Amino acid sequence: MDTLWLRPPQTTRRDFLKIAGASLALLGLSQALTPRVVKALESTSGKPAVIWLEGQDCCGCTESFLNNLEPPAVSLLLDTISLRYHETAMTASGYQAEEARDATIAEGGYILVIEGSIPLADDGLYCTVGGKTFRDIVAETAQNAAAIICVGACATYGGIPAAGPTDAVGYLFRGTRKHHYYDDIVGEKPVINLPTCPLHNERLVAVIVHYLTFGTVPPLDAFNRPLAFYGTLQHDNCERRGHFDGGRFLTDWGDPAQRGWCLYLKGCRGPWAKQDCWKRLWNTRTSYCIASNTPCIGCSEPEFYETFSPLYKRQFDLEVPGLGRVDIDKIMVTLAGITAAGVGIDMLISRMQEGGKES
Ligand code: SF4
C-alpha cells in the first residue's frame, strides 16, 4: 500500500515522545504513561489501517489536519498508522485507489474517518465517487470498521450542507431531521465525534493515539464528543468574560475604546459552545476566533450552522439558572443607568435572581 503515497522523512523517536506527551496532556492522562504510548506508536506490526472518506464538504478538515507541523501530519499518518485511502492525500486515483479501499474493507478492523455530510436528497446523487453515492460508500465502508471518527461539523451534525437543498445529514441530527441514517449502518461500533469547523488536528491525533495505546476510545459526552476536548464552555473560560460581567459589549468594530470588549452583541455563541479552543488555539497554537476579534460561531454544537445562522447576529437571550431566559436588552438599559455605581452584569443578574424577577 505504501506505493500509493509520497513518502516524507520518517518520524523520529523524539517526534514520538512529543506526540505522546502532547496527547496525554490533551486527554488529561498521566505523563507516566509516556513509555506505553511511545511503544504503541513505535510498533510497526500493529499499525491500524485507516480509511478516510470525504463527502459533502469543503476539504477544510483535511487541510487542517495536513497542515499539522509538529510533528508533520503526513509523517505521523504514515509511520503510526497505515492510511489506506484518502482521496485528497493519496497519489493513486481511479481503479487503483478504489481497489485499495475494497482490499482494506475485506480485511476489516480498520478505523474509518468520515469528513463531510451525506446528501440524501435525490437518492444521494449530489455526491458520488467512483460511480457510487457517498451514502452507499459510507454504508459499505462502515460495515467492517472497528471504530468510526466523524471529523468536523459536517460529518458530525450535517454542518453547512445541512442548511442547503441536498438534505445533508451527519452522524447526529436535530429538529425535524429524523433520518437516523447512521443507526442502520453503524450498529454497536464506537463512534467518536470531533466537531468544529474545521477539525482541530490535535484532537484527532490524541484520539488515534488513545486508540493505538489502549485499544479503546476516550470518555465521551452525550454527543459522542471526547470530554477532554468538549467538556468546558467557551464563555466560562473566555478572556473577555470580565467585560461581559461588567456589561461592556462591543457594538462598533471601529471604536478603539471597545477593543477587547465582549462580543455577545455581535452574535458570539460562546455561552453555548463547549470546546477547548480557548486553550487549544489554532494554527500551531497561534490564535483562535475570539482572540482574533471574531465571535465564536458555535461550530462545536449541533445548532451549527442552520440554527445559529446568521452567525454575526445576536439571536438568543441567556438562560440564567433559577431565572430562565434573560432579555439582554433590558439588562443593557438597566446597566446604562447603574454602571456608574459600579454594578456589573454579574451583580445585576444575582440581584435579579434574589428578587426572582427581571429588572
Ligand atoms: Fe467571551 Fe463570547 Fe462569552 Fe463574551 S459572550 S465573554 S466574547 S464567550
Residues 6+ apart with CB under 8 A from 67: 73, 201, 283
Closest atom of ligand 1 relative to the 249 alpha carbon: 4
Strands 324-326 and 318-320, by their bridges, are: antiparallel
Catalytic residue of the set 150, 210, 243, 296: 296
pLDDT at position 350 = 57
pLDDT at position 21 = 75
Q: How far is the CA of 240 from the centre of ligand 1 (A)?
A: 6
Q: How far is the CA of 248 from the centre of ligand 1 (A)?
A: 11
Residue 296, ligand 1, Cβ within 6 A = yes
Give CA–CA dist 345/16, Å, rounded.
47
User: What are the angstrom distances between the C-alpha of 261 and each of 214, 275, 280, 340?
Assistant: 44, 21, 21, 18
Give CA–CA dist 234/261, Å, rounded.
15
Catalytic residue of the set 197, 200, 210, 243: 197
Alpha helices in the chain (DSSP H): 13-27, 34-42, 60-66, 73-80, 94-107, 134-142, 152-157, 181-186, 201-214, 227-230, 241-245, 277-280, 328-338, 345-355
The cell numbers describing 108, all together, are: 476489516
Pocket residue to mutate for ligand 1, from 258, 268, 278, 293, most atoms within 8 A of Cβ: 268
Pocket residue to mutate for ligand 1, from 263, 276, 292, 300, most atoms within 8 A of Cβ: 263
Q: How far is the CA of 354 from the centre of ligand 1 (A)?
A: 24
Closest atom of ligand 1 relative to the 273 alpha carbon: 8
Catalytic residue of the set 86, 127, 150, 154: 154
Give CA–CA dist 32/21, Å, rounded.
9
pLDDT at position 14 = 72
294 sits in the region (left: phi over 0; alpha: psi -120 to 50; else beta) called: beta
The pLDDT tens digits along the chain (359 residues) read 444 444 445 566 777 677 777 777 777 777 777 777 777 776 656 677 899 999 999 999 998 888 776 666 666 666 777 888 998 888 888 888 899 999 999 999 999 999 999 998 998 899 999 889 999 999 999 999 999 999 999 999 999 999 899 989 898 764 444 455 666 677 778 899 999 999 998 898 889 888 888 888 899 999 999 999 999 999 999 999 999 988 899 999 999 999 999 999 999 999 999 999 999 898 888 899 999 999 999 999 998 988 888 888 887 666 655 556 666 666 655 555 544 444 555 555 555 545 544 33
Q: How far is the CA of 346 from the centre of ligand 1 (A)?
A: 13
Residue 290, ligand 1, Cβ within 6 A = yes
Task: Please check whether residue 169 is in contact with residue 162, taking contact to mean a CB–CB distance below 8 angstroms.
Answer: yes
Closest atom of ligand 1 relative to the 264 alpha carbon: 5
Q: Is the dihedral of CA 104, 109, 115, 121 positive or negative?
A: positive
CA-closest residue to ligand 1 atom 4: 262
| Separation of first and last alpha carbons in the chain | 67
Q: How far is the CA of 234 from the centre of ligand 1 (A)?
A: 7
Closest to 314 measured CA to CA, from 297, 293, 299: 297
- pTM score: 0.83
Task: Please check whether residue 157 is in contact with residue 174, taking contact to mean a CB–CB distance below 8 angstroms.
Answer: yes
φ/ψ of 72, rounded to 5, equals -55, 130
Q: Which amino acid is at 356?
A: G
Q: How far is the CA of 351 from the centre of ligand 1 (A)?
A: 21
Q: Which amino acid is at 218?
A: P
61 is catalytic: yes
127 is catalytic: no
Strands 318-320 and 191-194, by their bridges, are: unpaired
pLDDT at position 40 = 73
Task: Residue count of the chain, please give it.
Answer: 359
Catalytic residue of the set 127, 150, 243, 299: 299
